[in-house]
Amino acid sequence: MSELDVTRSELADVDEIVGTLSEAARWLLSRGIRQWPDPFPRERVERLVCRGDVYLARLDGKPVATLALQWADPAFWGEQPDDAGYVHALAVRRSHGGRGLGSRLLDWAEAEVVARGREFLRLDCLTENDALRRYYEGQGFEPRGEVVVDDFVAMRFERRCAHASRLPGGEVDPEPAHTRDRHARLAGVRSQWVRGRPTNPTQEGGGASFG
């Protein structure tokens, strides 16, 4: 398996990010799912890049995917303790779809959350996007209810990080199979992919796309 190199984006990467998100929006729309606008708003990407929240993933030096990782998301989740990281705008280039890159990026995000000493990885998607909801459930995420932000009706999802296996008081929480399977993957993720830490929370929202 080729090493996935995930790095924080710079302004020079904005065109690539907009292109990836717009391509994903068109692909979803062709399947009757209006997840994002096409073209994806450039000014929104620029804002997130300037805040240090957007990452590009490369294989063999070629950009293949993008995602945003935030440390607060009051628009979709309200006020929460500092116990989670929030994924938005996850999209994989269609030329690399079906290769499990979405799963690897979620593992990368989880490793970042663990490095921050937090316990949960959270995200959302359009409620009517049944395929994406099934995908996230297959990745170990559990639904946490709907929320309406402007005209976007989203289902929120949460996954407890693989390291968070103890309950208050020291009792061991039995891990489901998908969590046990992530332990081995995450050990490699932490050593290979961490290239810096997000520093600024943001209130941007936006959902995600699998690939």
**How far apart are alpha carbons 177 and 78 in whole angstroms?**
30
| Res 169: pLDDT | 46
Of the chain, the end-to-end C-alpha distance in Å amounts to 16
pLDDT per position as a tens digit, 167-176? 344 443 444 4
Structure tokens at 148: 């309406």
Judged by DSSP in three states, 77 sits in: helix
pLDDT per position as a tens digit, 34-76? 888 999 999 999 999 999 999 999 999 999 999 999 999 999 9
The structural architecture, per CATH, of the domain 4-162+169-192 is 3-Layer(aba) Sandwich (3.40)
100: left (phi over 0), alpha (psi -120 to 50) or beta: left
Picking from 100, 102, 120, 101, the residue whose alpha carbon sits closest to that of residue 110 is 120
Torsion angle of the four alpha carbons 119, 70, 128, 160, in this order, in degrees rounded to the nearest 10: -10
Instruction: Dump strand ranges (E) for 28-97.
Output: 54-59, 62-70, 84-92
Residue 112 phi, psi dihedral angles, 5° rounding: -65, -40
Which strands make up the sheet holding 120-126, listed edge to edge? Answer: 4-8, 54-59, 62-70, 84-92, 120-126, 152-160, 142-149
State yes or no: pLDDT of 129 exceeds 70.
yes
| Res 164: pLDDT | 56
pLDDT per position as a tens digit, 79-111? 999 999 999 999 999 999 999 999 999 999 999
Residue whose entry in the numeric block shows the structure tokens 């995930």:
6
Average pLDDT value over all residues in the chain: 83
Q: Give the residue extent of every domain in the chain.
A: 4-162+169-192
Helix (H), strand (E) at residue 96 = none
